[in-house]
Structure 1
Amino acid sequence: MTFRLPTLAALLLLAGCATAPSSAPPPPAAAASAPAPKADTPADDNLNAVAWTQTAIEHDLIYLQTYRDAQARLLAALKDPSWDALAKDDRMAPAKGLKPAVVLDIDETALDNSPYQARLVRSGGEYNEANWAAWCKEEKARALPGAVAFAQFAARHGIAVIYVSNRAKDLNGPTLANLRKAGFPVSGPDAFLGLDTFVEGCEQVGTEKGCRRQLISRRYRVLMQFGDQLGDFVTVLANNAEGRERALAPYRDWIGTRWFVLPNPTYGGWEPALFNNDWSAPRGERRRQKIEALRVD
């Protein structure tokens, strides 16, 4: 379609082009009152990831799609006595006859901690235990789309909802309170397995969740697992590209049926895998290695 401008309007438009590209939108009125960025604040690699997480409707739709699809499959899994979503190494007792359960990670699976990440982007800081604990104790994290509806559906059908988290022991109380405020069914303390959970006969390595999954296996037949990290589903012995693929390989067919993976571009095991898991390296060096890991063809 072709539009014809009156001569005067056309001349005005051409005059404007001398000072600004015609494709550049005018600055919003609110921009004048927005604080100017600090000149000494370096570019933050997490800016786009956090902005997408908080503002992209596609982010919310992925969560809704995932939890709705899982809910549609849940009752069929419940009726199948052979159905189990625990990896072979995590199943310590026969699943037959055990109470059914679903297992949810908390951060970026059930609860949205993007405001914490946004604070880091704005301040130019990085994660540390103190500022993370302060955020958790605010008990303000919102439920991610679809998560509460799924958990409530499971609970109504007699399926235990078990939350497994790597939050530190002193955050157990605030975490349970936050879950309840957000509307998640929490049957009691046994429904929450934090980082401090002791599992007799199993030595936890770092923040790996394998021992806690083994504990769950003694009590429940697990119908589904949900998480934003590979380690939420299976133990990753070597956190590099090859080790992560090796851990997943036997269970790839479970994705979307027994295991449901949520997106997290802001943090996770995928990131340190790019710089040999060396968090002691300077921020600039870690960034350099991440750039080197990018494929350009």
Structure 2
Amino acid sequence: MSLRRPTILLALALLAGCAATAPQPSAVAPALRTAAVAANDNLNAVAWSQTAIEHDMIYLQTYRDAQSRLLTALHDPHWDALGKTDRVAPLKGLAPAVVLDVDETVLDNSPFAARMVKGGAEYNEAEWAAWCKETRARALPGAVEFTQFAARHGIAVIYISNRAKDLDQATLANLRQAGFPVSGPQAFLGLGTVVDGCEQDGSEKGCRRQLIARHYRVLMQFGDQIGDFVDVIANTADGRRRAVADYLPWVGTRWFVFPNATYGSWEPALFNNDWSAPPEQRRQRKLDALRY
């Protein structure tokens, strides 16, 4: 035993040296994977919206809860879901309606977002228009059932969208193909809608809500952005909070809000709405906004 011990110790030393210097697969593989796929900050948000059952459950929960409250709102002649600046006509004698945003409220555009992530691209109008014209967006969970329920009870279903005017027909076709009730062109108010006596500010929807207010008592509003409910005067974190402060009691009764972590006006509010800034600078501003 004593004669073999030096030999054994030498062998163990040599093995230890090899282990210390040889590249380990577990240490090399992650680096190779990182180099092969460009990072995209939207990956988790898009993956969640497409694969998480929690995402679908939130939509089902929201639309089912709204449906359970809808007839009560219908039979209350004083019930109205329009903000004070949008309610431009008295309620008496007006027909009932529900107002819904389109993208990420009734139609699921996550395949377009997935294309941007996998292609390492940012949003651009040309590719967005091409996606819309495919008319392949699926209905979000619960949306068709809710809107059909409203229509069966004589409640007008009105869609407000900020898609470009040349996408109106494709959007209407997509809505119908997905099973949504669309009574006619008057039920869809796109970005190019002209409202007499009201000058639209950018893509804000206030003028279109005022147009609806002239003809309907709005029972409920649905959207994934606060601009779907009220115009935002200052798109900053504080400005956005002030815009909805008076209406927080309406959330879950007259206003129904869906989560959208993939895009929205919440994002540019973090970098002073300056899309011309380099991506790295915009990303740093978002990092600076985190609390820890």
TM-score, with structure 2 as normaliser = 0.88
Q: Any idea what the Cα deviations from partners look like across 1:95-117, whole Å, max 9, x if unmatched?
A: 12100000000000000000000
Match of 1:53 in 2: 49
Q: Quote the Cα distance in structure 2 between the aligned partners of 1:62 and 1:275.
A: 29
Identity %: 74
Q: Any idea what the Cα deviations from partners look like across 1:157-185, whole Å, max 9, x if unmatched?
A: 00000000000011000000000000000
1:258 aligned onto 2:276: no
Q: Quote the Cα distance in structure 2 between the aligned partners of 1:38 and 1:170.
A: 40
Residue 281 of structure 2: which of 279, 285, 291 is its match? 285
Match of 1:214 in 2: 210
Q: Any idea what the Cα deviations from partners look like across 1:244-273, whole Å, max 9, x if unmatched?
A: 111101100000000000010000010000
Match of 1:269 in 2: 265
Q: Quote the Cα distance in structure 1 between the aligned partners of 2:72 and 2:198.
A: 32
Q: Secondary structure at the match of 1:284?
A: helix
Match of 2:13 in 1: none
1:189 aligned onto 2:185: yes
Q: Quote the Cα distance in structure 2 between the aligned partners of 1:220 and 1:101.
A: 6
Match of 1:248 in 2: 244
1:170 aligned onto 2:166: yes
Task: State the shift of 1:37 in Å.
Answer: 6.7
Amino acid at match of 1:102: V
1:237 aligned onto 2:233: yes
Amino acid at match of 2:53: I
1:129 aligned onto 2:107: no
Q: Quote the Cα distance in structure 1 between the aligned partners of 2:227 and 2:94.
A: 24
CA RMSD, aligned part only? 1.6
Task: State the shift of 1:68 in Å.
Answer: 0.0
Task: Give the number of the structure whose alpha-carbon radius of gyration is greater.
Answer: 2
Residue 90 of structure 1: which of 65, 70, 86 is its match? 86
Give the 5 Å matches for 1:77-116.
77-116=73-112
Q: Any idea what the Cα deviations from partners look like across 1:52-96, whole Å, max 9, x if unmatched?
A: 000000000000000000000000000000000000000110012
Count the aligned residue pairs: 265
Q: Quote the Cα distance in structure 1 between the aligned partners of 2:37 and 2:235.
A: 31
Match of 1:294 in 2: 290
Match of 1:64 in 2: 60
C-alpha change, 1:37 and 1:182, in structure 2 (3 Å) is farther
Amino acid at match of 1:236: V
Q: Quote the Cα distance in structure 2 between the aligned partners of 1:96 and 1:54.
A: 43
Amino acid at match of 2:97: A
Runs of 4+ aligned residues of structure 1 deviating over 4 Å after TM superposition are: 18-21
Gaps of 5+ in 1: 1-17, 22-35
TM-score, with structure 1 as normaliser = 0.87
Q: Quote the Cα distance in structure 2 between the aligned partners of 1:37 and 1:106.
A: 37
Q: Secondary structure at the match of 1:42?
A: coil
Q: Secondary structure at the match of 1:89?
A: coil
Gaps of 5+ in 2: 1-18, 27-31
Amino acid at match of 1:245: R
